[in-house]
Amino acid sequence: MVRTVYSPEYCLQYLEQYASKEIFVIGLILGQKTGARENVIHLARTPDEKSSENSSETTFESDKLESKTLLNVSEAWVADHAKHVTRMLPGGMFVQGIFITSDEDIFEDPNSFSKVRSVVNHIHKVMSANQCMFGNCPLSNERLILHMSTSTKVLTCKSVEVGTPVKSTVIKPVEWKFLPKVQQWQRLDCYYEFDDVYPVIVKKSGISVKQQFQQILESAHKTIESSIMFIDGELKENTEVLEQILKKRKPKTHSKMQQQELPKSMNVSLFVPFENSLPESVEYLECDGSIHFSGVVSSSVFMYPKATVGETIAAVKQDIIRSLASRFTMHCDALIDDNLLPEEKVCFNEPPRRVLVPVGSLYLCDYLFPGEAPAEALLSVRELLDLQITEAEVVCDVETPADTSEFDALDKDTSSEELLATPQEASQFMYITGICFAMFVLIVSIIIHYYDAINEVFSKFVS
């Protein structure tokens, strides 16, 4: 059975735009694959590789023209583009392959096809390095290769399997269909709250911010994977289809036009079973400090209406973890000092917040650091997605900036310096407070116990 892929018609116009200029272009295919259907949402041209700063303008122009061939493409550069674009994709969306506009037939020329296979394999390898980014689609190891000839304007699509030896690579034909109508998507919104305290234990080898955040991310990953998802407050079977759930809720009195319209969004709630929120074993160690990880992650996932609840659950969980992994990476890359324990007694860090950017009939995302304006998102969208949008189209209210008033008050309060003198003293204070509270409860219990006994003796004596 031939694999079929569906995409909006503007993707064809996007390809013809570059093919008509008779120039070589390579880019990424972004989409979603479910058991019901495989949909492509966008084609994103890979930006030209930047030359060294010391090169002259003449050299830069000549290098730019020279690099406009498939054999001169850097696999690492395209894979880096895929990594950055994946951060912008909601859960359930992946880089499904690459597209090329060129004069040569990449499937007939052995050197060209070998290069194409090398590019998709390198993308697969890079995306596999960080499991929490969910860079590779779990449903298939096959990647799409879409080619449009700049001379004949003929479109050809095939798929190859990645992560396998070259000799065993199988090339399969793919049928690509362009949809004249806008694809309908079902939106699911979720707000997941974090309020956890993690110990900081500095070993002899030391520990960096990146290492500590990786531990937090792995812990959050286990917690979210163990959670149970409710859609609009109801627990659903994994085999149920989103479209069927919506039909059950619509009144029969509505017209056919109203019945065809999907609601703007469905609310999703994640609940963690109590037994899964407890550690398997408790080990008492002297901590060098602690990280209070607090905030709300906004999640907006777009699913094909015929997708199952099980596929939707996986997409929502992927979205939350991918968003955390993206923010942690961006935050660590922006740090000047990677030392985990700063000289200050209390250190406040605010990772970038999420904003939504429109792509076709759905939304992808970008991240803004504190103080950055929505205009910063336009640069990322233009460079990474090859899209032109306006600042007004960026949705910035899905997550609000952190409220630092409480932290500012604590930082200025000189009376709290003794309690927060060092991370070791802070941990010790909390430990002592716990013992005092336990002793208080024990004393009260003894008094109540003996009070009841004295009353019983006194009542017998009176009688």
In contact, 122 and 171? CB cutoff 8 Å: no
Instruction: Tell me the three-class secondary structure of 267-331, residue by residue.
Output: EEEEECCHHHHCCCCCCCCCCCEEEEEEEEEEEEEEECCCCEHHHHHHHHHHHHHHHHHHHHHHH
- C-alpha to C-alpha distances, 202 to 281, 285, 287, 298, 401, nearest whole angstrom: 20, 11, 8, 32, 31
Distance CA 290, CA 278 (A): 18
Phi, psi of 84 (to 5 degrees): -70, -35
Distance CA 300, CA 315 (A): 10
Structure tokens that stand for 444 in this block? 């009260």
pLDDT at res. 303: 97
pLDDT at res. 412: 58
Chain-centroid distance of CA 159 in Å reads: 26
Q: How many CB atoms lie within 10 A of CB 177?
A: 9
In contact, 147 and 102? CB cutoff 8 Å: yes
Distance CA 227, CA 220 (A): 11
CA angle 321, 325, 331 (to 5 degrees): 145
In contact, 86 and 137? CB cutoff 8 Å: no
Distance CA 401, CA 354 (A): 10
pLDDT at res. 40: 97
| SS3 assignment, position 156 | strand
Tens digits of pLDDT across the chain (463 residues):
789 999 999 999 999 999 999 899 999 999 999 999 999 999 999 999 876 444 444 343 434 444 478 999 999 999 999 999 999 999 999 999 999 999 989 999 999 999 999 999 999 999 999 889 999 998 889 999 999 999 999 999 999 999 877 666 788 999 999 999 888 999 999 999 888 888 877 766 566 778 888 888 998 999 999 999 999 999 999 999 999 888 877 655 555 544 445 457 899 999 987 765 555 555 556 677 778 888 889 999 999 999 999 999 999 999 999 999 999 999 888 876 666 555 556 777 788 999 999 998 899 999 999 889 999 999 999 999 999 999 999 999 898 877 666 666 655 554 444 333 333 333 222 223 333 344 444 454 555 555 555 565 445 545 5
In contact, 78 and 123? CB cutoff 8 Å: yes
Among 291, 265, 304, smallest CA distance to 398 is for 265
Q: Are strands 362-368 and 266-271 parallel, antiparallel or unpaired?
A: unpaired
DSSP code of residue 52: P
Burial class of residue 42 (count of CB atoms within 10 Å of its CB; 0-12, 13-18, 19+): buried
Distance CA 371, CA 27 (A): 32
Chain-centroid distance of CA 350 in Å reads: 17
In contact, 410 and 346? CB cutoff 8 Å: yes
| SS3 assignment, position 3 | strand
- C-alpha to C-alpha distances, 324 to 66, 221, 351, nearest whole angstrom: 39, 10, 9
Amino acid at 291: I
Among 84, 90, 145, 88, smallest CA distance to 304 is for 90
pLDDT at res. 282: 52
In contact, 317 and 268? CB cutoff 8 Å: no
Amino acid at 131: Q
Distance CA 86, CA 101 (A): 22
Distance CA 321, CA 327 (A): 10
pLDDT at res. 287: 72
Conformation bin of residue 92: beta by default, left when phi > 0, alpha when psi is -120 to 50: left
Instruction: Tell me the three-class secondary structure of 196-214, residue by residue.
Output: EEEEECCCCCCCEHHHHHH
